[in-house]
């Protein structure tokens, strides 16, 4: 199902206007998250909006609901900070869309990223191999979704779970893994969610799950032939912002 992967190990290139050497480890996936509630402050929102790449800034402005704009800006902030940490000018980076709408960096093709948001939480994963991430709140699962979107193995696992809270935790873990996998493939929903199981990953597909504050669960999926360290951290954005 996975047709291409970068070579294992450390990926290096020499792109960029200043000729800066870019080195991205395929063996470390950095996942950062933040609460976007402080962006309700108009001044803070405006200041961070000005640091966004032009295309993302225009997209945020075009969104209707204020909470959706905050979410979109939140994931943009995490991406800009992750890029700047790697010596890439976040506000000027070129972000393009792949065939299935997945964002990528044409000028930095060896650097992969994924964005997600849910509730008041923004999430960003970045590393040197294909990656996907997702965050969801607990309590949103139901058996109709299971029957429509889950693989038979996943349906069977949920069918064995009799405790409602444990059922919901398992549902959310499966759902976030599936969303992460779809993002990592770059195909999104063009790949039917019921066509694969995240409980028996194929070789080279690696997941890690994390409980986040506020009764939320997050998952990250990478495609790598090597062992990967998942580095999760809360982003201390606004104290520095």
Give domain status of residue 10, yes or no: no
Give domain status of residue 7, yes or no: no
Give domain status of residue 184, yes or no: yes
Q: What is the pLDDT of residue 188?
A: 85
Q: What is the pLDDT of residue 119?
A: 87
Please check the confidence at residue 12 and state whether its pLDDT lies above 90: no
Q: What is the tens place of the pLDDT at every residue in 220-231?
A: 999 998 899 999
50 against 20, higher pLDDT: 50
CB within 8 Å of 216: residues ≥ 6 apart: 118, 119, 121, 135, 136, 137, 138
Give domain status of residue 17, yes or no: no
Give domain status of residue 226, yes or no: yes
Give domain status of residue 239, yes or no: no
Q: What is the tens place of the pLDDT at every residue in 52-90?
A: 999 899 999 999 899 999 999 999 999 999 999 999 999
Q: What is the pLDDT of residue 8?
A: 29
Q: What is the CATH number of the domain that holds 101?
A: 3.90.470.20
- Average pLDDT for residues 173-178, to the nearest whole number? 98
Domains identified in the chain, total number = 1
Give domain status of residue 46, yes or no: yes
Contact 69, 58 (CB under 8 A): no
Instruction: Give the span between the Cα atoms of 3 and 193, in whole angstroms.
Output: 18
Q: What is the pLDDT of residue 1?
A: 31
What band does 24 get if pLDDT is binned at 50, 70 and 90?
A: low
Please check the confidence at residue 13 and state whether its pLDDT lies above 90: no
Give domain status of residue 126, yes or no: yes
Cα 79-39-234 angle, rounded to 5 deg: 50
Q: What is the tens place of the pLDDT at every residue in 107-142?
A: 999 999 999 999 899 999 999 999 999 999 999 999
| Average pLDDT of the residues of the chain | 88
What band does 25 get if pLDDT is binned at 50, 70 and 90?
A: low
Cα 112-114-115 angle, rounded to 5 deg: 150
Percent of the chain with pLDDT over 90: 77
- Average pLDDT for residues 208-213, to the nearest whole number? 95
Q: Which domain holds residue 42?
A: 24-234
Instruction: Give the span between the Cα atoms of 185 and 113, in whole angstroms.
Output: 12
Residue 186 backbone class (left: φ over 0; alpha: ψ -120 to 50; beta: rest): left
């Amino acid at each position: 199902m996975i047709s291409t992967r970068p070579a294992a190990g450390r990926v290096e290139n020499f792109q960029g206007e200043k000729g800066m050497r870019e080195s991205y480890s395929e063996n470390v996936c950095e996942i950062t998250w933040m609460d976007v509630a402080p962006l309700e402050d108009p001044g803070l929102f405006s200041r961070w909006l000005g640091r966004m790449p032009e295309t993302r800034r225009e997209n945020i402005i075009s969104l209707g609901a204020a909470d959706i704009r905050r979410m979109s800006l939140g994931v943009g902030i995490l991406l800009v900070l992750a890029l700047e940490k790697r010596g890439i000018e976040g506000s000027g980076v070129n972000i393009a869309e792949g065939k299935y709408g997945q964002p990528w960096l044409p000028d930095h093709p060896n650097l992969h990223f994924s964005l997600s948001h849910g509730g008041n939480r923004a999430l960003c994963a970045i590393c040197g191999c294909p990656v996907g991430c997702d965050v969801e709140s607990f309590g949103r699962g139901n058996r109709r979704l299971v029957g429509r979107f889950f693989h038979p193995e996943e349906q069977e696992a949920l069918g064995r779970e009799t405790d409602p809270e444990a059922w919901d935790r398992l549902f959310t873990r499966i759902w976030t893994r599936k969303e992460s996998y779809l993002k990592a493939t770059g195909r999104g929903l063009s790949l039917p969610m019921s066509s694969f199981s995240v409980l028996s990953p194929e070789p080279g597909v690696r997941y890690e799950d994390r409980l986040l504050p506020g009764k939320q669960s997050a998952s990250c999926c990478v495609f790598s032939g090597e062992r990967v360290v998942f580095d999760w951290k809360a982003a201390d954005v606004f104290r520095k912002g």
